[in-house]
Chain A
């Protein structure tokens, strides 16, 4: 659904942000993009809904090339984006109004708008917040409202740009749960993060460094074959522990990605 070829992007001041990036994202994929601060992940995803345009190469969404301005409305409707700081995106006085803003702008009939608003609030589990002001909410709740607003536009793909990085562990789990539900509903999901624990159940893990893609594979393969510390990202703690144990002669049958997997392996060895 998203096709990126030989993408190169320079910031307005001339610095190279992305260098010969090739990436093809299929419909319904759950893709995680990770990399250190400044590695180009945000610049990359901003090309996927035409917020940034390539300096060289091309990006297309559903076959529509982002460098043609006439395609932007269709592209942005197909690919929605949730940002790290949702505050700047809120418009409505109440949560409900805020979520309805997008579909209202699409000129949908009001009965359909209501359906979409209810549907997205249910998916995110925030129906109880309906009449509150978005600004009065906690960080995690705000992220869910912002996500519901994007979801109400029925995008084919949703990009989450570091939405979990400012959240406490509990809210993070809730937001991640919502992201998984959205993916399970058939939406393509692109999740940008630098916490690799959030990538263990993704279909695919892409690692970026200095504006290039340096790894693109199943998460388990990326963890096994790459030195991620060298790219400024931390392995999930269970993966590191599992690797250390393997070096010490522990014969688990695989690289454990989660606490549950490692626990199972240790118990089997007893």
Chain B
């Protein structure tokens, strides 16, 4: 059970003077239950790549399969749930319930299962059931985003793909979203997050893919990613790198604040290192 991307190249406007290659010979696989981070600068092809995972775009050459089925097939739609970058633009229901229920309803789910799916999705994201009857448009920006994500979760897809889900979320919402995604992945749902907010995601992701101008330039664990010194590196890693360059013997694969803390206390010989 996996998504397999094999030697995929994608060109916008092929055969015209405007032809641009957005993806070039990309091969990667996303396994069942895996938590994957796709990072890269704007225009690196991240969004184009994820549009291939549920068949919204078809490769110019190469192929994408989901559990062995071609990704543009109709059956794949229920397997891969995708949330795009401006999820509040995806909201349309008169009530939060209607909005979250739309996806699973469309896949043929009826009450009482439908209701259960909606409630479970809201609960997982830490949203109160009390918001079901209200209009999604009256919610705050962060809540709107979570409701849109709930709409994807409620269909219970095997693969969840989220484009920049953290932007605009405050710390509380961010934590509930990240823990919901971790829970899903531990239960066997694959989670693919596209983001440049790398610092929040390195501690939860199992694998990182880095795209640069349409090519896959790195694939590995978060620790390997940090050692690779990618362009979008969390500030903590810049600090660690600076410390190394000034002769402090700190690890080069430390990421996250706790790692940084224990490394700095260790090299400075602070006693607190043991207590904390």
**B257 engages A241 (CB within 8 Å):** yes
**A169 engages B170 (CB within 8 Å):** no
Known interface pairs A170-B41, A244-B261. Does A259 touch B238 (Cβ–Cβ under 8 Å)?
yes
Q: A237 to B271, alpha carbons, bound, how many Å? A: 22
**B172 engages A232 (CB within 8 Å):** yes
* Residue B169 at the chain A interface, CB threshold 8 Å: yes
**B272 engages A241 (CB within 8 Å):** no
Nearest opposing residue in chain A for B164, CB measure: A166
Nearest opposing residue in chain A for B139, CB measure: A38
* Residue A106 at the chain B interface, CB threshold 8 Å: no
**A165 engages B168 (CB within 8 Å):** yes
CB-CB under 8 A from B199, the residues of chain A are 237
**A36 engages B171 (CB within 8 Å):** yes
Number of interface residues of B (CB under 8 A): 42
Most buried by A among B140, B171, B272: B171
Nearest opposing residue in chain A for B238, CB measure: A259
Nearest opposing residue in chain A for B260, CB measure: A241
CB-CB under 8 A from B270, the residues of chain A are 245, 248-250
Q: A192 to B80, alpha carbons, bound, how many Å? A: 36
**B236 engages A248 (CB within 8 Å):** no
Q: A31 to B42, alpha carbons, bound, how many Å? A: 29
**A238 engages B41 (CB within 8 Å):** no
**A266 engages B264 (CB within 8 Å):** yes
Q: A138 to B41, alpha carbons, bound, how many Å? A: 12
Nearest opposing residue in chain B for A11, CB measure: B138
CB-CB under 8 A from A84, the residues of chain B are 141, 168
* Residue A122 at the chain B interface, CB threshold 8 Å: no
Binding site secondary structure of chain B: helix
CB-CB under 8 A from A140, the residues of chain B are 42
CB distance from A52 to the nearest CB of B (A): 16
**Which of A13, A229, A245, A262 is in CB contact (< 8 Å) with B171?**
A229
Nearest opposing residue in chain B for A140, CB measure: B42
**Which of A197, A233, A240 is in CB contact (< 8 Å) with B257?**
A240
Interface stretch among B98-106, B121-129, B201-209, B239-247?
B239-247
CB-CB under 8 A from A262, the residues of chain B are 239
Nearest opposing residue in chain A for B271, CB measure: A249
**A165 engages B257 (CB within 8 Å):** no
Nearest opposing residue in chain A for B166, CB measure: A165
Known interface pairs A37-B143, A38-B142, A168-B196. Does A266 touch B243 (Cβ–Cβ under 8 Å)?
yes
* Residue A247 at the chain B interface, CB threshold 8 Å: yes
CB-CB under 8 A from A269, the residues of chain B are 268
* Residue A201 at the chain B interface, CB threshold 8 Å: no
* Residue A263 at the chain B interface, CB threshold 8 Å: yes
Known interface pairs A168-B41, A245-B270. Does A238 touch B235 (Cβ–Cβ under 8 Å)?
yes
Q: Mark B38-49, 1 if CB is under 8 A from A, else 0.
A: 000111000000
Q: A84 to B235, alpha carbons, bound, how many Å? A: 24
CB-CB under 8 A from B273, the residues of chain A are 248
CB distance from B184 to the nearest CB of A (A): 22
| Sample of 10 further A-B pairs with CB below 8 A, known A237-B234, A263-B242, A266-B264 | A37-B173, A38-B142, A168-B232, A233-B170, A237-B257, A248-B270, A250-B265, A250-B272, A262-B239, A270-B268
4 nearest A-B residue pairs (beta carbon): A248-B272, A37-B142, A38-B140, A36-B170
A and B contact pairs by CB, cutoff 8 A, 18 listed: A36-B170, A37-B170, A162-B141, A165-B167, A171-B42, A197-B235, A234-B171, A238-B235, A241-B239, A245-B264, A248-B265, A248-B275, A249-B270, A250-B264, A250-B265, A263-B239, A266-B243, A266-B248
Q: Interface on B for A, CB 8 Å cutoff?
A: 41-43, 85-86, 138, 140-143, 164, 167-173, 196, 199, 232, 234-236, 238-239, 242-243, 246, 248, 257, 260-261, 264-265, 268, 270-273, 275-276
